[in-house]
Structure 1
Amino acid sequence: MVTISGKTTDNVFYRYEDLDLEDSDDVLMVSEYVSEIFSYFYKSELDCLASPELMLRHPNINQNRDILVNWLVKIHNQFNLLPETLYLAVNIMDRFLCRELVALDKLQLVGTASLFIASKYEEVYSPSCKNFASVTDGACSEEDIKQGEVFILQTLNFKLDYPNPLNFLRRISKADEYHMDCRTVAKYLLEITIVDFRFVGIPPSKCAAAAFFLAKKMMGRPYWDGNFIHYSGGYSKRQLQGCVKMMMEYLEQPVIHEEFYKKYSTRRFCKASVASRDWAKRVIEQGFNVMDLHESNN
């Protein structure tokens, strides 16, 4: 295995293995292009971030967004859509709310139209406009959704090439040999970053790295070595501390997003929401520093 040296933006030196060499015979993994692809993702993700400051122009946006995103999770699950569709829908919605002031009674329309757009972009078979109108219980007509779709796309200049957080999570998972339980928990933790307003404006690659770091802690596989630093996009443990802290705070507090919690409490997702909350509360109650948990110098 080829070993290479690297340095993080906060001057942490590390060594990593070229794990992409293992995929040289798999044309689907495009190993000869993967570094360039992710270099592009790391640059372009900054152009697709919503601004929390601009969103805060909307009165009570924190609480109203909580309700709306929780509802979107429910509809997304009801339609059995791809995980990528939900992330793109929330990104579309947030970026639109940065550009346009929206009345409270129109927020559900913005969310519905955003999910409609995202499903067209990501899904092989997208639910019809009629399907989306039917789940709003009369709040949005088909014509409302179609007009909303056009207005949102025009406002965003049709920019939908959002580097999805799940792409970054899959990249990091390579360094963990695609450990299934760890990745399932990481998916739950990563989804916290779209339901919790505090994560608006944080690059998806950083959210994915923090989710995987914390999932590894929960699995008792604590070390964030050179491979994880490199395949996360160069994030050191210190750089992830703020995001990990917010995730732990979210897990400690009472359930706010019922549909999100319920979704990940099923066997399909290894009851990740239940197990993660129980684990986080025990760690916090016992006064442990999660960043150093399970490491030999602790």
Structure 2
Amino acid sequence: MQYLLLNRSPCILIETPHKELEPADSSSFKKYSFKNLFIKASPIPRLSWASSDDVWIKMLNKELKYVHDKSYLQQHPKLQPKMRAILLDWLLEVSEVYSLHRQTAYLAQDYFDRFMLTQENVNKDYLQLIGITALFIASKIEEIYPPKIFEFAYVTDGACDMWDIQRTELHILKALDWNLCPETPISWLKLYSQVEAQKDDENFLEPQFSQETYIQITQLLDLCMMDISSLDYSYSVLAAAAFCHFSTFDVVHKVSGLTWESVSPCVRWMSPFMDTLRSEAKPQIKNFPKVKADDRHNIQTHVAYLDLLSKAQERQIDSPDCQLSPVAAGMILTPPSSTEKPVNL
């Protein structure tokens, strides 16, 4: 079945099968590798409001339910990895403009990648529409006061209107079968950070970890997420590998249950990204209007990620143990001005 987006050339939208894949169905999952999944006693301390084991198991189950795979680019011959990087960089900038949470930005990335896994022959002209719609959906899931749909249309500078976003929203929701609650690298990182900093007499729901260290790790995750090879790893492993670059593996093992064998390939792959960030100034906690001081670290920020990505990928070429991501000429999106927002919102 074909649909027209933006009244341009058609792209094929494939319906997601209604039957949900079960982990026991090995034939359905034979093309995916789950070697990094783990079963271990919950590192979450005892909770007064829930069973820590139940919370842990639910998080692990999502690693099976929400499948991502970088091979989807084979289904889209007109697309290149750099196009995805440009799109995600722009979405991070939009997220900062509207003071959206990091989890919102990472949900949008997950929706985009999983949606593209269900499609074929999508043209690059539709990527901005798909990306901004994914962010629109994510903001309604995560934000208490999400921006209005006309605000998301506004930042595309006329490339997408509200009707385009509404139609694409239905396409994405149907393709994802309304599965919109993955555990993102950010949610795993927050868990690891909290478990590491937790003391027996403190409320587990109240952040105890250092905001300064946390935003440094999130910057590493932001940069890595823009490289499509990050989809080779489960989100829990990505977060653990990033955490490992700022701590010891003994701590990482304690908070995640992962073995060195399962996390070390990702740690090595991530090393050029970390080396690139070491040469840059440390990120500072930014002030956002109407955002409380104890929540500032949760707001998504943006730096010159495309330049940093190019430097990291150049380092990968000189690192024989790192998996390389091809770099190709991309498209040009219309980023919003960092100080420009609609008035009278």
In the aligned structure 2, how far is the partner of 1:51 from the partner of 1:213?
Answer: 23
- Pick from 96, 101, 106 the counterpart of residue 82 of structure 1: 101
* Matching residue's letter, 2:123: A
In the aligned structure 2, how far is the partner of 1:17 from the partner of 1:145?
Answer: 40
Equivalent position of 1:258 in the other structure: none
- By how many angstroms is 1:119 displaced? 0.5
Provide the alpha-carbon RMSD of the alignment.
3.3
* Matching residue's letter, 2:93: K
- Pick from 159, 165, 169 the counterpart of residue 189 of structure 2: 169
- Pick from 52, 55, 58 the counterpart of residue 73 of structure 2: 55
Equivalent position of 2:244 in the other structure: 213
Please tell me whether residue 145 in structure 1 is matched to residue 176 in structure 2. Answer: no
In the aligned structure 2, how far is the partner of 1:230 from the partner of 1:250?
Answer: 24
Equivalent position of 1:65 in the other structure: 84
Higher helix share: 1
Q: Is the 8 A contact 2:42 2:52 kept in 1?
A: no
In the aligned structure 2, how far is the partner of 1:17 from the partner of 1:93?
Answer: 30
- Pick from 52, 55, 58 the counterpart of residue 34 of structure 1: 52
In the aligned structure 2, how far is the partner of 1:190 from the partner of 1:97?
Answer: 21
Equivalent position of 2:114 in the other structure: 95
Residue 135 and residue 253 in structure 1: after superposition, are their counterparts in 2 closer, same or farther (change >3 A)? same
In the aligned structure 2, how far is the partner of 1:87 from the partner of 1:17?
Answer: 24
Q: Secondary structure at the match of 2:246?
A: helix
Structure 2 residue runs of 5 or longer lacking an equivalent are 1-34, 198-207, 287-296, 316-345
Equivalent position of 1:157 in the other structure: 177
Equivalent position of 1:194 in the other structure: 225
- Pick from 192, 213, 218 the counterpart of residue 182 of structure 1: 213
In the aligned structure 1, how far is the partner of 2:113 from the partner of 2:69?
Answer: 8
Q: Deviations for 1:118-161, whole angstroms, at most 9, x for unmatched residues?
A: 00111111111100000001110110001010111011111102
TM-score when normalising by structure 2? 0.63
* Matching residue's letter, 2:155: V
Equivalent position of 2:17 in the other structure: none
Q: Secondary structure at the match of 1:20?
A: coil
TM-score when normalising by structure 1? 0.72
Q: Secondary structure at the match of 1:56?
A: helix
Equivalent position of 1:43 in the other structure: 61
Please tell me whether residue 224 in structure 1 is matched to residue 243 in structure 2. Answer: no
Q: Deviations for 1:219-259, whole angstroms, at most 9, x for unmatched residues?
A: xxxx322x531421x212332222122222234469xxxxx
Please tell me whether residue 20 in structure 1 is matched to residue 40 in structure 2. Answer: no
In the aligned structure 2, how far is the partner of 1:61 from the partner of 1:197?
Answer: 10
In the aligned structure 2, how far is the partner of 1:213 from the partner of 1:74?
Answer: 27
* Matching residue's letter, 2:216: V
Q: Secondary structure at the match of 1:43?
A: helix
* Matching residue's letter, 1:196: D
- By how many angstroms is 1:19 displaced? 6.5
Residue 35 and residue 55 in structure 1: after superposition, are their counterparts in 2 closer, same or farther (change >3 A)? farther
Q: Is the 8 A contact 1:185 1:272 kept in 2?
A: no
Q: Is the 8 A contact 1:72 1:112 kept in 2?
A: yes
Q: Percent identity?
A: 27
Higher relative contact order (CA 8 A, sep 6+): 2
Q: Secondary structure at the match of 2:145?
A: coil
- By how many angstroms is 1:195 displaced? 1.4
In the aligned structure 2, how far is the partner of 1:246 from the partner of 1:273?
Answer: 22
In the aligned structure 1, how far is the partner of 2:56 from the partner of 2:108?
Answer: 22
* Matching residue's letter, 2:125: D
Equivalent position of 1:242 in the other structure: 265
Q: Is the 8 A contact 1:79 1:127 kept in 2?
A: yes
- By how many angstroms is 1:172 displaced? 1.4
In the aligned structure 1, how far is the partner of 2:276 from the partner of 2:215?
Answer: 21
Residue 17 and residue 99 in structure 1: after superposition, are their counterparts in 2 closer, same or farther (change >3 A)? closer
Q: Secondary structure at the match of 2:245?
A: helix
In the aligned structure 2, how far is the partner of 1:190 from the partner of 1:115?
Answer: 18
- By how many angstroms is 1:205 displaced? 0.7
Q: Is the 8 A contact 1:189 1:215 kept in 2?
A: no
